[in-house]
Structure 1
Amino acid sequence: MAQLLTSPPPPQAAELRRWELADPADLRTLRASLHEALTGEQLLDGQRMDEVPELIVLVATELATNALKHGIPPTIVRLLAVDDSLILDVADHDLSTIPELSDTRPMGAGGRGLQIAMAVSLKVGWYATDRTKNIWASFPRR
């Protein structure tokens, strides 16, 4: 089974945008706002995105959903940039658990956010601060 990196993103990564989510209803706003941050354009209903923005939005939605469902709010989603990569960093306030890749759950049972992130991003890792547990995923910059 693949392992998550246990380190923060590169320290020189600059924060481009930040979102705070209190409940699952905030996910729709996150998706639209993140798409606009990545492309400079509003996401219209039913519109398809380019591959990298679409994958970043997918991973953001999956990781934020997990954080909202299993973590302690608020969930903080940050979009970072470093060199030729974009980094998505999702934090919750539950320090009592560590992220685990679950490959034993049946399909459709949920809990696949980390596996999706591992499949579509360049790297995935996690780290804890004194107040948050963070999962991050990096993607190529256009």
Structure 2
Amino acid sequence: MTNSPEAIMVEGDWQARAKQRTRRINTVVGALFAVGLVSGFFVGFFEDKNAGLVAANSIPPWLAVVSAVVFVVSVSYGSWKLMQVSDELERVVHTKTTVVAGNVMLIGYPSWFILWKGGIVPEPDALWLFAAGIFSSALAYAWYKYR
């Protein structure tokens, strides 16, 4: 049955569609990477070298506004576009990883806050909570994708 011309055509058609979908996904991810790279370059270029990584007022206000707008637009549009070009399994995996990351931040902040109120840990820091969300999202993606 696999030697019939119809089976070969269908298999070839499936492979061509899979390659197109992979190309579309890579195009979206590449575009988002490029936007982030340019944004990061400008922040690094204009950052006050004496201020340090997490210091306030270390970049010009106009760059902060532009970077925030670019981030919100890129993440919003990129997520929407990736959902369009992904198949059902990828959508489920991405939805689960988003829930895991959200739960890490949702559970992490109140726990850290109450421990801070008790004088056990330092004041909650948004950078560490964001990093924990990104890290947990990457771990969850690997778990759901490759298990």
Structures share a fold, TM > 0.5?
no
Q: By percentage of residues, which structure has more strand?
A: 1
> Whose RCO is larger (CA < 8 A, sep 6+)?
1
Q: By percentage of residues, which structure has more helix?
A: 2
- TM-score of the superposition, structure 2-length normalised? 0.26
